[in-house]
Amino acid sequence: MKIQWKTCFKIGFSIFLLYLCIHYLEGMQHFLVKAIGAASPLIIGCAIAYVVNIIMTAYERHYFPMSKKKFVKATRRPLCMIAAFLTVVAIIVIVVSLVLPELTQCIQLLVSQLPGAFKKLIGFIEGFGVVPEDILSELSNLDWQEKIGDIFNTVSSYFGNVVNALFTVVTAFFSGLVVSVLSIIFAVYLLLAKEKLQRNISDIADSYFKKKFCDKARYVLSVINDSFHKFIVGQTLEAVILGILCTVGMLILRLPYATMIGALVCFTAFIPVVGAFIGAAVGAFMISTVSLIKAVIFIVFIIVLQQLEGNLIYPRVVGASLGLPAILILAAVTVGGGVFGILGMLLGVPLAAAAYKILDADVKKRMAKKEEPETHNNENPHTDDETVKSEN
């Protein structure tokens, strides 16, 4: 085999890069963290553009689709993009306005009822007679309202003085504001020029890479895009249905915080499989501040609703569109959440669905290739037998 200098150079350069990555691992990690932090507006902008693009394309399909007027063509993209952004903002405002006020009220109610709850707990323990009377008397004579105030003062003093805390909050606010503005600007640019960007990226890929590699890359990206699109649409529809059913059921059962808990369940349902349980746990805790019996009724109701959602709604709305078995959905949520937290739970299911589709298509293709020679070999003996008989 003839060894070419070009091949040797590629091998040597790869080994050198591997040595640098291993030797300067900490520096590389620090550089990657800095690079990701600097590029965070672009990354967030891409995520915003992808989500808004789903709503924008839906509006574009209904904005005079058959019209050929120049005015309609010129205004279709800007108006649909503005409508898509307003839709996202309206959803966020509705959820926050439903959840935040009642959540604040619940926390205030909980803080005001803590002293009485402590005294009831002490009386309950005293009935068993396992704690010495002198300790119980000291606990009973404590001013729990004052102790709770001391705890809050200690916690607040732990974070430093007011000036430093205020400076930190203001800095974080303006930093987040700058990142948000840059992300939205970048997302707007991507949405306005998405076709042109796709053509430019395609031309660059075709110029520098082989056609076979470009075709495979396009196929993989199209499968990933299809999985994410179906997941976002299906998960949104499933979350809305679950939130409405939760709100209506709580209103029928006359449970408190119906609209707030329904909106919270709808919001947390975007996390597959376990999201609704998180919202249900918070809801049960809030209802327990009003009535323990109603909290038990809510838990029974939410269990029944979860069975309905898991066996009827989710498989039809999300599972069927993704084509991913339930066991793999649970595995994707578990692994993704363990590695990347809530973001991993959100991204794990569509990525697993894309990997499953690509692997399934590749396995079917390989099995078809293996069956072709067997079919050909099975056909040959018959032809040979016919040839022998004709000669005889």
Give one DSSP letter per residue of 13-71, joined into a string. Answer: HHHHHHHHHHHTHHHHHHHHHHHHHHTHHHHHHHHHHHHHHHHHHHHHTTSSTT---HH
Checking if the pLDDT of 381 tops 60, the result is no
Q: Mind listing the pLDDT tens digit for each residue in 171-211? A: 666 777 788 888 889 899 988 888 888 889 888 988 888 88
Is it the case that residue 365 has pLDDT exceeding 80? yes
Tell whether the torsion through CA atoms of 286, 288, 289 and 293 is positive or negative.
Answer: positive
User: Any idea what the Cα angle at residue 208 is, between residues 203 and 210, rounded to 5°?
Assistant: 95
| 8 Å CB contact between 89 and 251 | no
Q: pTM (2 decimals)?
A: 0.68
Q: Count CA atoms closer than 13 A to 382's CA, side-chain side.
A: 5
Domain extent listing, the chain: 40-208, 209-365
Residue type for 250, please? M
Task: Kindly report, residue by residue over 64-103, the tens digit of the pLDDT.
Answer: 888 788 888 888 889 999 999 999 889 888 877 877 776 6
Q: Could you give the CA distance from residue 100 to residue 148 in angstroms, rounded to a whole number?
A: 23
The count of residues in the chain is 392
Distance CA(122)–CA(231), nearest Å, equals 50
Q: CA 168, CA 165: separation in Å to the nearest integer?
A: 5
Q: Is the pLDDT of residue 53 over 60?
A: yes
Kindly provide the b/e burial profile for residues 103-129, where b requires at least 16 CB atoms within 10 angstroms of the residue's own CB. beebeeeeeeeebeebeeebeeeeeee
